[in-house]
C-alpha cells in the first residue's frame, strides 16, 4: 500500500533530482510555491494531507519525468548512488576536459558518489567563488547532465568558445540567440549568439 510518507518522499527526491527545493519544484510546476512544503503535509488538526494527482502530474511534466521513474523514487530501499567525475568549476574552462558536446573526456577527474541521475555522461562541478550566490555557494556540488533536454527556466552550465564557464538560468533560446539569466542579482544577464557557445548542459542535482 502506498503511504503518505512515501509519496511525499518521492516528491522531495524529484525536487532534489531537478536541483530544486520543494517550493522551487512547485513554482516550476505552475503551482502555489507552498504546495509541496513540509508545513502543508499535515493539517492543523493532525490529519495527513496528500498531494493531488494534478499537482503530481504537473511536477512530472515540469521536470520531464516519466511516471515509472517517479514510482522508482517512491521505494523504501536505499537510494541508488552513481559515481560521477568531479571537477572544480574554475578548472572547467581549461581545455581537455570536455568534447564539443559538453561530455566529460580526458584525464584528471576526481570522482564523487551522488544520487543516480540516469545519465551515464553526467558529471559534477564544485562551485567556487560567490558569483552564484544565493543560488549556489562555494563548496556546493552541482551535477550536470549533458544528455537531459533543456527547457526554459532550467538552471544550466554553459561554456563559451573563449573558455568562460557560467552557471545561469535559461531565459530564452532561439535560432539566433541564447538568453541566460544570472542567479546573482549583482551580476548581469547574458545574451550569446549560438556561435559563441561551445556547449550548454542542464543542472539536474545540487548538494544544498
Query: pLDDT value at position 129?
Result: 76
DSSP string, the chain: ---HHHHHHHHHHHHHHTT--HHHHHHHTTS-TTTT-GGGSB-TTS-B-PPPHHHHHHHHHHTT--HHHHHHHH--SPPPEEEEEEEETTGGGSTTSB-TTS-B-SS--EEEEEE--S-TT-EEEE--SSTTTTTS-TT-EEEEETTS---TT-EEEEEETTS-EEEEEEEEE-SS-EEEEESSTTS--EEE-GGGEEEEEEEEEE--
Confidence of residue 190 (pLDDT cuts 50, 70, 90): very high
Express each pLDDT in 32-88 by its tens digit. 999 999 888 998 888 999 999 999 999 998 887 878 778 878 865 555 556 777 777
The mean per-residue pLDDT over the stretch 141-153 comes to: 87
Express each pLDDT in 16-42 by its tens digit. 877 788 898 999 999 999 999 988 899
Q: Which residue has the higher pLDDT, 201 or 75?
A: 201
Give this prediction's pTM: 0.59
Amino acid at each position: 500500500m502506498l503511504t503518505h510518507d512515501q509519496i511525499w518522499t518521492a516528491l522531495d527526491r524529484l525536487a532534489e533530482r531537478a536541483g530544486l527545493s520543494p517550493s522551487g519544484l512547485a513554482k516550476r510546476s505552475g503551482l502555489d510555491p507552498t504546495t509541496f512544503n513540509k508545513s502543508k503535509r499535515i493539517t492543523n488538526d493532525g490529519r495527513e494531507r496528500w498531494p493531488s494527482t494534478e499537482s503530481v502530474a504537473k511536477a512530472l511534466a515540469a521536470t520531464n519525468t516519466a511516471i515509472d521513474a517517479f514510482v522508482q523514487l517512491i521505494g523504501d530501499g536505499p537510494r541508488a548512488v552513481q559515481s560521477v567525475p568531479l571537477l572544480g568549476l574554475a578548472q572547467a574552462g581549461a581545455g581537455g576536459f570536455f568534447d564539443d558536446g559538453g561530455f566529460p573526456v580526458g584525464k584528471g577527474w576526481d570522482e564523487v558518489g551522488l544520487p543516480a541521475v540516469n545519465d551515464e555522461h553526467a558529471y559534477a562541478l564544485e562551485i567556487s567563488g560567490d558569483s552564484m550566490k544565493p543560488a549556489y555557494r562555494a563548496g556546493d556540488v552541482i551535477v550536470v547532465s549533458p544528455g537531459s533536454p533543456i527547457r526554459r527556466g532550467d538552471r544550466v552550465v554553459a561554456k563559451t568558445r573563449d573558455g568562460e564557464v557560467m552557471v545561469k538560468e535559461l531565459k530564452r533560446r532561439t535560432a539566433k540567440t541564447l538568453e541566460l539569466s544570472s542567479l546573482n542579482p549583482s551580476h548581469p544577464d547574458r545574451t550569446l549568439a549560438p556561435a559563441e557557445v561551445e556547449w550548454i548542459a542542464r543542472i539536474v542535482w545540487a548538494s544544498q
